[in-house]
Amino acid sequence: GPLKPEITITYIAVSAIFFNSGLSLKTEELTSALMHVKLHLFVQIFTLVFFPTAIWVFLQLLSITPINEWLLKGLQTVGCMPPPVSSAVILTKAVGGNEAAAIFNSAFGSFLGIVITPLLLLLFLGSSSSVPFTSIFSQLFMTVVVPLIIGQIVRRYIKDWLERKKPPFGAISSCVLLMIIYTTFCDTFANPHIDLDKFSLIIIVFIIFSVQMSFMFLTFLFSTRNNSTFTPADTVAIVFCSTHKSLTLGIPMLKIVFAGYEHLSLISVPLLIYHPAQILLGSLLVPTIKSWMVSRQK
């Protein structure tokens, strides 16, 4: 269509989000976040090891139900996805959490996902395909790392103006993200071969919200236990980065790994539901998490 999502979304939209983050984030916060190894390990192990394994165990129980098997396979692909390159950062920023840590884990998790996600899909679903790691890696580098660095460089020259005017960076990122979701939905549901039964779809939506709520609660409990060294701001970044899954990286990756699959549209549906669901749920919880963080900091 006129929006040209293959260019505007794949390249411009994601780049805009990270240029925006690079422009708004203080350089010293980003460098200090790099050294927070314990937080990074927690997020990456949870999202790329615990999450897909827990989903696989859960799906063994669901396999005896009449739910569409391709939607169940789609749920497993959701579990195998890396952290998102945008939504977790935007929600962490909205709450006032550790945005620098969220940015690092989003970018680092995405790079890990280029190698780990296809391997997880092979392990849990048996899909085999020659995945062009080089092209995905270079695309990620150009749309995530380069805009972030450019944003940081530009910030050095207009720092005083930014602090004086305080542009609405959060609102800009949210609008861009909304465009990403809209175009991806259009792309999938425009497929004439998609065959969905309402029962399976309703159950999948319910499961997705339940999984998100359970995992957010679980990461919250782990990161706030007595012997934890995480600050309330760290906990906010952990809750969002550990439980969110990437749509902008996930859909292209599914198209590569499941190239030629007649059920590709059905496999994509859970990820298409999961992404807006994580933003909706996260947005609803922002005031609650914000008040908790403020009270803990006091």
Looking at residue 294, what is its pLDDT?
87
For the chain, domain boundaries:
5-291
Q: What is this structure's pTM? A: 0.74
| 46-68 average pLDDT score | 89
CB 100 within 8 A of CB 233: no
Closest CA to 241 of 77, 117, 122, 108: 108
Q: Are 173 and 20 in contact (CB under 8 A)?
A: yes
Q: 253: which 2 tokens?
A: 């990756």
For the stretch 69-88, pLDDT in tens is 888 888 999 999 988 767 78
Q: What is the dihedral of CA 247, 250, 254, 256, to 10 degrees?
A: 120
pLDDT in tens, 189-203: 666 666 667 888 889
- Cα-based distances in Å from 279 to 24, 203, 244, 248, 258: 21, 19, 9, 14, 26
Closest CA to 282 of 4, 91, 29: 91
Sorting pLDDT into bands at 50, 70 and 90, what band is 55?
very high
Nearest CA among 59, 63, 10, 7 for reference residue 247: 10
CATH architecture of 5-291: Up-down Bundle (1.20)
